[in-house]
Amino acid sequence: MRSVHTAGEMALNILSVAPLYQGPAIHGIRVRTEAPLTLAKPLTPLAPSKSKLTTIEAKRIMSVLDEAIYKVELVTLMSYVESHPEALEGILQEDIMSVMKEHMDLCQVLLENVDALQEEEMRLRQEEDAEERWYQDRHLSIQLHKANLQPLMQEVQDSSKNVLRVLICDPRATKLLQVQAPGRSAEAQHFLQSLTELRGYLFEKLLTNPMEMKEKAQFIQDITRRNKQNQELIDSLENEVTARLKNRDTEVEKENFVIQELKNHLHQVLKFSENSLLRTKQEAEKQQKVDFRASQARLAKIQQELLMLHSQYHNQVTENQEVEQALRKKKYKVETEIENWIQKYDTEMGEKQDEYEDLESIHKEEKLQLEELRQQHVVLVEEFAQIRTEREINSKKRMEAEREMLRMVRAATLIQAVWKGYLVRSMLKSKRKKKKRGKGKGKAKGKVRK
């Protein structure tokens, strides 16, 4: 809430000087001065579950921001009063017009000082090549001029606050100013629009709980991630399409060139086809005769190789039978050894099973003991908690008794002090009465003597 209030004060401080830098052309801009438009409804997945503010803090924050926007709207209309002071004379009260006139005079003085400072800085930039001493003097003069502007700016800000106070206290004057003023500058309208957008964003922020904020952030991250993935896919597809189109154009050009070459070649082939066909036929007949002779010689050679392979096959079968007999003997020996190992394994597994059963019985006994110990531990924990609770209660009672004793001692001390004061005052009063009585008796005796 404090940050929003500070933002509103900063906005007022800025806009209290902003109309001074506007030219006469800005007064002809027609801008609406009614209440700001409502923001568009957000997307359904991002809409908050609530439509109204429920907490006092949120309502206070929004009220402070609405008040700041209202004050900014009033301040931005002051440029019209500055350029057309006669339009509101006789309509507004004299005290309001005097406050506005004083504010406009301060703004005019500040504007003149700012223009003079800008001219000096421009002249100083143009004459940078002058003497160093003169340059330093001018620079020092500009710095002093800037320092003198701060109090004047503060006066303008205070005057703006005073004008706002007077206008807010008089709703009729505020309404007349809004009706008479044709509009405000584009910069001021943009600033008001930004404040309105800030209000909508803050209103949505206050309506949203932490879980919805987390879901909204996750939704935005998912949308961003999907958008990025889709954009990457689109870029890759566009690059691929571009490359394929380029390759297709290149291939089409190559194919057109090949087709043209083939047409030319076909035309030449048609010319020499008859001679080539006749020559090919003659060469084929010669090649056929040569191939027949070679095939006869190759057939005789293959028959000799076939006879040799038959003899090698019979020899290999005899050798394989001998090897098979030796492998059968080895297999029998291995099977016997495997059977012995299986018997040995069964014996050892029986022993292991007996040992496992013994260990399991021991484990069950230890488990029962552990359960008994756990029950005892639970009972001890409960007793300890009860004892600790009793100690805490006794400690609290003892502390309460000590506090009560301390209050009683203080009360007794106070009563004694009051009683002593009462006794002292009573004694003083009795002494005063005795003195007065003594004086009265002395006067009576003097009269009797006379």
Q: Please indicate, yes or no, if residue 167 is contained in any of the structural domains.
A: yes
Residue by residue, DSSP assigns 119-186 as: HHHHHHHHTTTS-HHHHHHHHHHHHHHHHHHHHHHHHHHHHHHHHHHHHHH-HHHHHHHHHH-----H
For residue 7, with 0-12 CB atoms within 10 Å meaning exposed, 13-18 middle and 19 or more buried, which class applies? middle
Q: Please indicate, yes or no, if residue 202 is contained in any of the structural domains.
A: yes
Residue by residue, DSSP assigns 406-436 as: HHHHHHHHHHHHHHHHHHHHHHHHHHHHHHH
Residue 235 three-state SS: helix
Residue 229 three-state SS: helix
Q: Please indicate, yes or no, if residue 406 is contained in any of the structural domains.
A: no
304-320 per-position pLDDT tens digit: 888 888 888 888 888 88
Taking alpha carbons only, the member of 182, 200, 251 closest to residue 62 is: 200
317-373 per-position pLDDT tens digit: 888 888 888 888 888 989 999 999 998 888 888 888 988 888 989 989 988 999 998
Task: For the beta carbon of residue 188, count every other beta carbon within 10 angstroms.
Answer: 24
In the predicted structure, residue 40 carries a pLDDT above the cut 50: no
Query: Averaged over 431-437, what is the pLDDT?
Result: 75
Residue listed under structure tokens 């805490």: 392
Provide CB contacts within 8 A for 36, sequence distance 6+.
69, 192, 193, 196, 199
Number of domains observed in the structure of the chain: 1
1-14 per-position pLDDT tens digit: 444 444 444 444 44
Q: Please indicate, yes or no, if residue 367 is contained in any of the structural domains.
A: no
CA atoms within 13 A on the CB side of 245: 6
pLDDT level of residue 87 (50, 70, 90 thresholds): low
Q: Please indicate, yes or no, if residue 97 is contained in any of the structural domains.
A: yes
Q: Please indicate, yes or no, if residue 219 is contained in any of the structural domains.
A: no
Provide CB contacts within 8 A for 198, sequence distance 6+.
65
| Domain containing residue 75 | 2-208
What pLDDT score does 13 carry? Answer: 47
What pLDDT score does 7 carry? Answer: 43
CA distance 422 to 424: 5
What's the start-to-end Cα distance of the chain, in Å?
A: 89
* Average pLDDT in the chain: 78
In the predicted structure, residue 67 carries a pLDDT above the cut 70: yes
Written as one letter, the residue type at 231 is Q
Q: Please indicate, yes or no, if residue 189 is contained in any of the structural domains.
A: yes
Task: For the beta carbon of residue 331, count every other beta carbon within 10 angstroms.
Answer: 10
Q: Please indicate, yes or no, if residue 34 is contained in any of the structural domains.
A: yes
